[in-house]
């Protein structure tokens, strides 16, 4: 796998994956704050703003990563289109891509591919 696939400066599969999980945690916190706790301010506002800004940043980053072939187009679309509704779609796609062997780990070695499939 080429060096551009593994990383393009600060844009790596691993960093995008971690950011996606952080975004999912922020969104879950927003849902709990808004619905279970009755929407206390300013917490709901701060979490909502954080979710919105993270969604915009993740959308741009994943679309750029798709152009650089760091992530698949399917993953980028899941983050950019479905991420505004719920970032859990993007986190799920990152897990799916990791299990399918579409990513490389931090050591640069290929992620294990499922039995019977070539990487």
pLDDT tens string, the chain, 119 residues long: the values are 444 445 668 899 999 999 999 999 999 999 999 999 998 999 999 999 999 999 999 999 999 999 999 999 999 999 999 888 889 999 999 999 999 887 654 334 444 444 444 44
Could you tell me if residue 89 is inside a domain?
Answer: yes
Could you tell me if residue 43 is inside a domain?
Answer: yes
Mind spelling out the 3-state secondary structure of the chain?
CCHHHHEECCEEHHHHHHHHHHHHHHHHHHHHHHHHCCCCCCHHHHHHHHHHHHHHHHHHHHHHHHHCCCCCHHHHHHHHHHCCCCCHHHHHHHHHHHHHCCCECCCCCECCCCCCCCC
Write down the pTM of the prediction: 0.76
Domain boundaries, position 63? 12-100
């Amino acid at each position: 796998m080429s060096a551009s696939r593994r990383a393009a400066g600060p844009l790596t599969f691993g960093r995008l994956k971690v950011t996606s999980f952080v975004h999912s945690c922020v969104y879950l916190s927003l849902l709990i704050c808004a619905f279970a706790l009755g929407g206390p301010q300013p917490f709901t506002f701060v979490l909502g703003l954080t979710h919105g800004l993270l969604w915009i940043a993740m959308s741009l980053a994943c679309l750029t990563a798709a152009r650089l072939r760091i992530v698949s187009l399917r993953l980028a679309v899941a983050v950019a289109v479905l991420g505004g509704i719920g970032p859990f779609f993007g986190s799920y796609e990152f897990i799916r891509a990791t299990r399918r062997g579409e990513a490389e780990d931090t050591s640069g070695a290929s992620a294990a591919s499922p039995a019977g499939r070539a990487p």
